[in-house]
A = this chain, B = another copy of it.
Amino acid sequence: MDTISVRPARIQDVAAAAGVSVSTVSNVLNRPERVNALTAERVRDAVAALDYVPHPGAAGLRTGHSSSIGLVLPDVANSFYSRIARGAADAAYDHGYSLVLCDSGDAPEREQGYFTMLVEQRAVGAVVVPLGADPTRLTRLRERGIPLVLADRAMPAQDGCSVSVDDIAGGRIAVQHLLDCGARDLLVVNGERGIRQCADRYQGARQAVRSRRAARLGQVVAEEMTVAYGMEIARKLDDLPDGVFCTNDFLAAGLCRGLGERGVKVPEDVQVVGYGDLDIASFVGTTLTTIRQPVEELGRAAVEMLLDEVEARAEHAHETRVFAPDLVLRESTRAPSAP
């Protein structure tokens, strides 16, 4: 069967069918308390009978409110971002907004294209993981009347809300856990220094060690954060540490495997903590103890903060929300002894 093009019922049709005026129908739908219960009943019957579906777009034209919010990110296919998207979609759905997916594909022109699209659509706001560090374009969007919430990026508090995960805390938790499990000769297997997340996680690791005089902390930097480099590092290690914190799960998975090939047992000889709770962490042979980042919640919170700004306007105070990562215990570390 092909598409039937029955012109959908309009509010007028409902009014006629119910024997009332359009404004009464509108009231029944939007402010039921102002309408006599019986007439309301009649109207609702008519709505059902005609399969009437209101048209928020038309309403928005009148009221000035739209009901779509933008989600601008570099690449939905990347699991970190797709998890943000999931959380954002959840929240948007719960609040009756629709989420417009804007995948900039790492291309600034395209990001800009989406920005103007959002202006055209009169989106109520946008959650964005911006591409460059340059805030000019973001500011312009905001001046255009589109409130923004930044995700996973810093943002001067006065300019708007932002959400992110605390990587320093993550590093601290990871290493603290190794200490709790009895490890004292520690190694951080890190990614490039330039990556903010890596630097922060290392800083957190140092904080944890500082509180425990008796422990040592080394660091080795992997060229790329992949399983292969993790294995490589495991092979080259001279004196084995008794605890390793890898700043990403791929490195951790590779490291475990490389150690295995040398006959080193995880967690008996060396304990390992990863970071990110990627799929791989629970699929791998020795499942990884790792740091979970509440990414979905991050997306959800971003949307909710945005809606608060949109709906509260005057009373809204910008907020920089930082989420706490937490530890997922699996096989690559031993049970912690009570401190």
Contact = CB atoms under 8 A, between A and B. Distances in A.
A333 B81 CA distance: 33
A53 B119 contact: yes
Interface stretch (A15-23, A110-118, A182-190, A203-211): A110-118
B66 A57 contact: yes
Given A147-B3, A260-B261, A89 B66 contact: no
Interface in A37-68: 53-58, 60-61, 66, 68
A4 interface: yes
Interface in A229-275: 231, 250, 253-254, 257-258, 260-261
B142 A3 contact: yes
The residue in A56, A79, A101, A159 that gathers the most chain B C-beta atoms within 10 A of its C-beta is A101
Nearest to A156: B1
B56 A227 contact: no
Contact of A61 (B57, B66, B85, B254): B57
A105 to B, nearest CB: 7
Interface residues of A, number: 70
Contact of A101 (B79, B85, B114, B121): B85
Given A5-B145, A76-B76, A257-B285, A122 B57 contact: yes
Nearest to A8: B145
Contacts of A121: 56-57, 98
B68 A77 contact: no
Contacts of A8: 119, 122, 144-145
B254 A285 contact: yes
Contacts of A226: 283
A205 B71 CA distance: 42
Nearest to A283: B227
A220 interface: no
Contacts of A292: none
A90 interface: yes
B75 A86 contact: yes
Given A284-B227, A285-B227, A76 B68 contact: no
Nearest to A139: B1
B120 A103 contact: no
Contact of A55 (B77, B99, B120, B279): B120
A102 interface: yes
A197 interface: no
A114 B93 CA distance: 8
A100 interface: yes
Contacts of A33: none
A26 interface: no
Contacts of A201: none
A68 B86 CA distance: 20
A158 B113 contact: no
A285 B231 contact: yes
A6 interface: yes
Contact of A53 (B3, B120, B258): B120
Given A76-B85, A228-B283, A280-B283, 11 more contacts: A4-B143, A57-B121, A57-B122, A61-B61, A76-B86, A77-B296, A89-B103, A90-B103, A93-B114, A101-B101, A258-B285
